[in-house]
Amino acid sequence: MSEKNKALINQIIRFGLVGISNTIVSYVIYAVAFALTDNYFLANVLSWLLSVLHAYIWQNVFVFKEDKNAQKRVWWKVLLKTYAAYAFTGLLLNNLLLWLWVDVIDISRFCTGIANGLTGIGIVLTDRELSGYLGPVLNMFVTIPVNFVMNKFWAYRQKE
């Protein structure tokens, strides 16, 4: 394996680690904000705003390190592009895919066996409810790679 491929795999792993920490940060902020305000919409918006800022900071330091031999990045442009990338993948694409899985493809048709198995262990969900929980998991297989590409080649890109 070439050094370039090793570096890319290492970068993808670091992106994943930042993503895991970002998911935890996002949920903690959401839970605290919801507990304080009893407003799930406000809690979700605040969680998204702060978790993208968290992602920007860690991606800048840990994932997409600035190349000292290339043109210097303008921090606020990178920040705005990071918000745009997360808005596209986390808001637009995520909701579009949920609609596709749940309403167009109707993955609930494939959930009966899983729902019955869960009922056996005391978790009662309809096929439709289960499809609503599985949709975001399926989305990750699309949104995470798209988000990585948008950040690597657009938000954090440096000109030679």
Exposure string for 79-107, b = 16+ CB within 10 A, e = fewer: bebbbebbeebbeebbeebbebbbeeeeb
Contact at 8 Å (CB) between 33 and 47?
yes
- Cα–Cα nearest to 55, from 88, 96, 85, 10: 85
Please tell me whether residue 71 adopts helix, strand or coil conformation: coil
In this predicted model, what pLDDT tens digit does every residue of 91-128 receive, in sequence order?
Answer: 899 889 989 988 899 988 998 888 889 999 999 988 88
Q: Which of 2-6, 57-61, 87-91, 126-130 has the lowest mean pLDDT?
A: 126-130
Confidence of residue 152 (pLDDT cuts 50, 70, 90): very high
Q: What is the pLDDT of residues 28-84, one digit of tens each?
A: 998 999 999 988 889 888 999 999 999 999 999 999 988 888 889 999 999 999 999
Task: Output the CA torsion 151→78→89→54 (10° steps).
Answer: 100
pTM of structure: 0.81
CB atoms within 10 A of CB 19: 18
The residue among 96, 106, 104 whose CA lies nearest residue 136 is 96
CA angle, 20 as apex, 17 and 26 as ends, to 5°? 135
Instruction: For residue 59, give both structure tokens.
Output: 């991606």
pLDDT confidence tier of residue 133, bands split at 50, 70 and 90 = confident
Residue partners of 159: CB distance under 8 A and separation at least 6: 70, 71
